Amino acid sequence: MTTPLVPESLRTVTVLAGGISHERDVSLRSGRRVADSLTAHGISVELRDPDATLLGHLSETRPDVIWPALHGASGEDGALRGVLEALDIPFVGSRATAARLAWDKPTAKALVARAGIHTPRSVTLSHDAFRELGAVSVLQAIADEHPVPLVVKPARGGSAQGVTVVDDIAGLPRAMVDAYTYCEDVLVEQKIVGTEVAIGVIDTGDGPIALPAVEIVPRSGFYGFEARYNAGETRFFTPARLDDTVAAAAAAAAVAAHTALGLRHLSRVDLIIDAAGTAWFLEVNVLPGLTETSLVPLALEAAGYDLGWLYAELAQKAITDHRA
């Protein structure tokens, strides 16, 4: 047996995966992968779908660490994390307040911009504003002030659902409708043309560090829901095809964004690198996908990490932070 030694304090982990959302399948795959990696590392893991019996179960079993692998709202918006804080059991990933700020894209952009990181020019509008001020005049005002190409996205939400790239201004109304069906606030953002990268940020105790950037090249030109979850729809380059100074600047921007938002343990920062080499912050995920085809595991493997070891380190860090 070569089972690695596990510290006394880290014997049992409960991985939360599933939930009721359109990202349920992705979450189940992420959770299973995390659970398998931790099990292979000699930790006793329980995989749980969050339901009405969860809280009772957790307060009874009191695992050493909870690992939420829930994507989408509730998993990432801070709601569940708030409950875990109240339970007083260590958990992996950002705290509720930070998760809530990061989940709201306009808020995250504002905080990151304040830290000196570039983020594309944008405007956020509520559905009510359109009702009160009249859609035609508001849309025309946006069109006048924000030249195409634009990216229209729900202010909160994951997996690129409701996101449209608007190349022709005539497509703006339809794009607004699609985004508003997912969220009552919509972000209209200038589209930066460049290289799309995702940078994982991890912190096992020595401060946050950036993983190699993963470059995303969707076959259709747009990394939407289909491109994300269907094999062969997207090509990835790890590390991204950037020159060293540009890559270093992007890595620094990712770490700075993670820090500015007060995130901990693990995140994935999505950036676009323009022709001049400037990194533009788009958004951050407090629970990046951890499936066998997800970006952060790709980067971890490229950087030579053993997943079981790293996930155990993150769990250990959660315990340390909880005690602090």
Partner 1 sequence: MVTTGSQQALDLVTRLFINPGDVVLAESPSYVGALGVFRAYQADVVHVAMDAEGLIPESLRETITTLEAAGKPIKFLYTIPNFHNPAGVTLSWGRRLEILDICRSHGILVLEDNPYGLLYFDQPAPQAMRSVDDEGVIYLGSFSKTLAPGFRVGWALAPHAIREKLILANESATLSPNSFGQFVITEYLDQTDWKGQIDTFRHLYAERRDAMLSALGEYLPKLSWTKPEGGFFVWVTLPDELDSKAMLPRAVKELVAYTPGTAFYSDGQGKQNMRLSFCYPTPESIRTGIARLATVINGEIDLLQTFSGANLTTPIPTRSSVTTPPPNTL
3-state secondary structure 181-228: CCCCEEEEEECCCEEEEEEEEECCCCCCEECCCEEEEECCCCCCHHHH
8, 60, 88, 168: which one binds partner 1 (CB under 8 A): 168
Count of positions on this chain that bind partner 1 (CB under 8 A): 38
> Euclidean distance between the first and final Cα of the chain, in Å?
34
Least separation in angstroms between CB 232 and partner 1: 20
CA-to-CA dists, residue 42 to 5, 7, 317, 319, angstroms? 7, 10, 17, 17
Q: Which is nearer to partner 1, 43 or 172 (CB)?
A: 172
Does 235 bind partner 1 (CB under 8 A)? Our answer is no
Least separation in angstroms between CB 207 and partner 1: 35
Does 49 bind partner 1 (CB under 8 A)? Our answer is no
Q: Which two tokens stand for residue 40?
A: 């292979």
Residues 116-145 that bind partner 1 (CB under 8 A): 123, 125, 127, 129-131, 133, 135-145
Does 229 bind partner 1 (CB under 8 A)? Our answer is no
Least separation in angstroms between CB 159 and partner 1: 9
CA-to-CA dists, residue 22 to 158, 201, 248, angstroms? 10, 25, 35
**For 190, phi and psi rounded to 5 degrees?**
-65, 135
Q: Which is nearer to partner 1, 129 or 303 (CB)?
A: 129
Residues 6+ apart with CB under 8 A from 8: none
Q: How far apart are CA 37 and CA 145, in angstroms?
A: 49
36, 49, 178, 301: which one binds partner 1 (CB under 8 A): 178
Q: How far apart are CA 71 and CA 128, in angstroms?
A: 28
Does 22 bind partner 1 (CB under 8 A)? Our answer is yes
CA-to-CA dists, residue 149 to 170, 191, 234, 249, 302, angstroms? 11, 5, 22, 25, 33
Q: How far apart are CA 199 and CA 303, in angstroms?
A: 12
Does 164 bind partner 1 (CB under 8 A)? Our answer is no
Q: Which stretch binds partner 1 (CB under 8 A): 49-57, 162-170, 232-240, 277-285?
A: 162-170
Q: Which is nearer to partner 1, 42 or 171 (CB)?
A: 171
Q: How far apart are CA 254 and CA 268, in angstroms?
A: 8
Does 225 bind partner 1 (CB under 8 A)? Our answer is yes
Q: Which stretch binds partner 1 (CB under 8 A): 178-186, 232-240, 252-260, 267-275?
A: 178-186
Burial 36-67 (b: 16+ CB within 10 A, else e): bbbebbbbebebbbbeeeeeeebeeeebbbbb
Least separation in angstroms between CB 293 and partner 1: 20
Q: Which is nearer to partner 1, 118 or 127 (CB)?
A: 127
Does 182 bind partner 1 (CB under 8 A)? Our answer is yes
6, 83, 177, 302: which one binds partner 1 (CB under 8 A): 177
Q: Which is nearer to partner 1, 225 or 237 (CB)?
A: 225
Q: Name the residues that contact partner 1, by CB under 8 A.
A: 20-22, 123, 125, 127, 129-131, 133, 135-148, 161, 168-170, 172-174, 176-178, 180-182, 225
